[in-house]
Amino acid sequence: MEVRAHLKCSERQACKLMMVAQSSLRYQPRKAEQDKEDAARLKQLALENLRYRSPRLCVLLRREKLINHKKVERLYREQGLALRRKKRKRIARVAMERKLTERANQEWALDFVADSVASGRHIRILTVVDVHTRECVALVTDISIGSGRVIRTLEQVIEERGLPERIRSDNGPEMTSRAYLAWAMERGIELVHIRPGKPVENAHIESLNGRLREECLNVNWFRNLLDARRRLAAWRAHYNEKRPHSALGNRTPSEYALAIASAALCIAEMGRGGSIATPSSQTHLPASNQRGEVI
């Protein structure tokens, strides 16, 4: 009796020191065996359903017995049943300093826009803009546009406008293909790829795409591919020649391009010793009638 009383006294002191209830001192957990059974059943269900994760396995286990979802999650992790999630591989791009443009053909920007025709068939639209003059230099529409078609389109634009110094684009497969990279290297064109998830780094083409979507794609119903090409060509002509652009002093891109070309021509004439009032014989002037009006 004295020994038991001594033990009880020491237990009380230990409980006071540990600041726990005396009734919990002799508590022995009885969930070890139950956890083993639940863990074994959970592992069996996971082997039968290899791509099921913790929430779905919990539903299957609850059909057999009442169990807490937190316990299932704990056993799921202890058994090492968590599936490995594959992370999407992204191209690592370093942020490049944005260079200001001073003339036409210094930088082009290109991107793709998606839409559909009346039959539900999807179409792709390749948009190319001159960053300095804001001219839409190309607007190609087709069912599918690969890197080869992009190269052919750029070659046609180069024949009309000249060679650009650099081209800015995203990291799509058309812009990172070997054929496209080899073509740019052969032509001596610098390729500027923006960082993934940073469309603001290609703001000029995003602005053009927004105007295209709002003013053309959302207000037209294309019967077929040919109808889409015709309407988009008409919108491109309107955008370049009639639509005022606020960033250009409410001038159209064509008017602005003509103005900077005339200014560059005057500077070149003055550099050769000529004058603005009396252009040299090499300067091509538009024909005029007797009144002095341009024909």
For residue 252, how many C-alpha atoms fall within 13 Å in the half-sphere facing its CB?
12
What type of residue sits at position 84? R
Q: Which helix (H) or strand (E) holds 166?
A: strand 166-169
Write the pLDDT tens digit of every residue in 10-64: 666 666 666 766 666 665 666 677 788 889 999 999 999 988 888 999 999 999 9
Residue 141 · residue 229 · CB < 8 Å: yes
Write the pLDDT tens digit of every residue in 203-222: 999 999 999 999 999 999 99
Strand ranges across the sheet with 107-116: 136-142, 122-130, 107-116, 166-169, 190-193
> Would you say residue 3 has pLDDT above 60?
no
Structure tokens at 21: 């209830």
- In whole angstroms, how far apart are CA 213 and each of 20, 218, 268? 69, 6, 40
Write the pLDDT tens digit of every residue in 173-214: 999 999 999 999 999 999 999 988 888 999 999 999 999 999
Write the pLDDT tens digit of every residue in 50-98: 888 889 999 999 999 888 999 999 999 998 888 877 777 766 677 767 7
From the CB of residue 116, how many other CB atoms can be counted at a distance below 10 Å? 12
Write the pLDDT tens digit of every residue in 107-165: 999 999 999 999 999 999 999 999 999 999 999 999 999 999 999 999 999 999 999 99
> Would you say residue 280 has pLDDT above 60?
no
Q: Which helix (H) or strand (E) holds 126?
A: strand 122-130
3 state DSSP class of 193: strand
Q: Residue 233: phi, psi to the nearest 5?
A: -65, -40
What type of residue sits at position 250? N
